[in-house]
Structure 1
Amino acid sequence: MEILKTQGLTKTYGKGEIKVEALKNANITINKGEFVAVVGASGSGKSTLLHMLGGVDKPTEGEIIIDGVNISKLKEEKLAIFRRRKVGFIFQFYNLIPVLTAEENMMMPLLLDYKRPDEKYMNELIDILGLRDRLDHLPSELSGGQQQRVSIGRALAYKPSIILADEPTGNLDSKNSKEIIELLKFSVRKYNQTLIIITHDLNIASQADRIIHMADGVIVKDEVVR
């Protein structure tokens, strides 16, 4: 079942001689439950695409439809609410709030909506992430791998339809990288979510259902891996 579709997605920065086409006429269809890796050299448009898909940045042209909603037409306030409830973001540098505990960071999307957490679900998620004995710790008291687990917990707290991960293992050693990818694969299977991940690691990309190759803002290849 289709969960995400883009039509003619284009992003341009600047005008005239300084005009840069970061993304050109991207047409993508992704189904619910798919694990999709986006690969390409630096400057190929990977992050621009991810930011468009997550509603972090507005396209210059084209449409993005998630769960039947054309997010490119939403006003900023409604877009922020939709993004918080439907899209989970995981970043390379964790982006945790330093004065909040691990548990408070995980709960942040829910707290912003004044929503009570599903305690059974959150307890299950905490155990899956192996954070039971780290909930009261501040980010500065956690290892890099633990901080990324907290950021995954934050991304999953609202039970989003789509998880967008921008180089989630780029700041981690090989052992932690492998554990984080296994956690992401397990969680999206368990909760039937869709995972779209940007990575330079071809070993990670090879574990995806599909690999989207980008160069100079263009999707040059969209291949099914498994």
Structure 2
Amino acid sequence: MKIIKVRDLNKVYGKKDNLTYALKDANLEINKGEFIAIIGASGSGKSTLLQLIGGVDFPTSGEVIIDNENIYNLKENPLAIFRRRNIGFVFQDFNLIPMLTVEENIEMPVLLDCRKVDKDYKKNLIKTLGLEGKEDSLPSELSGGQKQRAAIARALINKPLIVLADEPTGNLDSENSKEVLELLKVSVKKYNQTIIVVTHDINIAEEADRIIRIKDGIVTEG
């Protein structure tokens, strides 16, 4: 089943003679449950593609269809709700709120959506991600690996269709990077989610089901 369809996607900056294509005529289809790696040099358009798929930036032209919904046909508020309920984000710098505990950080996306937290699911996530005993800790009391695990739990708490991870191991050592990668792979299998990881690390990319390459804004596979 195709969960994501990217059609003739362009992101252009500048005007007339000073046009810069961050993304050029990108076409891509991703199946439900796939683990996809996006690789390319710095400035090649990796993060741009991820942001457009995630609905956090707007394309110059083209379509992004998620679960049969053309997300850029949605108005601002419906798009925000769709994004919050269907897409989880994991960032390189974790983006945890410093004054909230681990548990509060994890719960935040559900509470922002004015819904009740599934306590059994949250407990299972915390156990799967090795955060038992850290629920009441602040981010400043965690190691880098623990912070990223908390960020992954927060991305998964809404049971999203898709998880988008932008250099999720970029601030971690090799041991923690390997653990985070394994946790993402577990999530694909356990929760049947689609995960797209932007990475500069070919070793991480080779663990994915499929590799998407970007060079100068042009998307290719393999």
Cα offset, 1:114, TM superposition? 1.4
> Partners of 1:126 and 1:170 in 2: how far apart?
22
Does residue 74 of structure 1 match 2:70? no
2:212 maps to 1:222: no
Q: Distance in 2 between matches of 1:57 and 1:112?
A: 20
TM-fit CA distance, 1:73: 1.1
Q: Which runs of 5 or more residues in structure 1 are unaligned?
A: none
| Corresponding position: 1:65 with 2:65 | yes
Number of positions where the alignment pairs a residue of Structure 1 with one of Structure 2: 222
**Deviation at 1:113?**
1.1
Could you tell me how far apart the structure 2 residues matched to 1:136 and 1:19 are? 49
Once residues 132 and 32 of structure 1 are traced to their aligned partners in structure 2, the CA distance between those partners, rounded to angstroms, is: 30
Name the residue aligned to 2:186.
186
Task: Tell me how far 1:185 sits from its aligned partner.
Answer: 0.3
What TM-score do the two structures reach when normalised by structure 1?
0.97
Cα distance in 2, alignment partners of residues 38 and 14 from structure 1:
25
Summarize the alignment of residues 40-51 of structure 1 with structure 2, pairs less than 5 Å apart: 40-51=40-51
Give the residue type in structure 2 aligned to 1:58.
F
- Give aligned-pair identity as a percent: 62
**Distance (whole Å) between structure 2 residues aligned to residue 44 and residue 193 of structure 1:** 26
* Partners of 1:26 and 1:172 in 2: CA distance: 31
CA RMSD, Structure 1 to Structure 2 (Å) = 0.8
Matched AA of 1:146:
Q
| 1:200 matched residue in structure 2 | 200
What residue ranges of structure 2 are gaps of 5+ in the alignment? none
Q: Which residue of structure 1 lines up, in the alignment, with residue 165 of structure 2?
A: 165
Distance (whole Å) between structure 2 residues aligned to residue 51 and residue 15 of structure 1: 22
Matched, 1:19 2:19: yes
CA deviation map 1:123-164 (0-9, x unaligned): 110000111111111111111111100100000000000010
TM-score, normalised via structure 2 length:
0.98
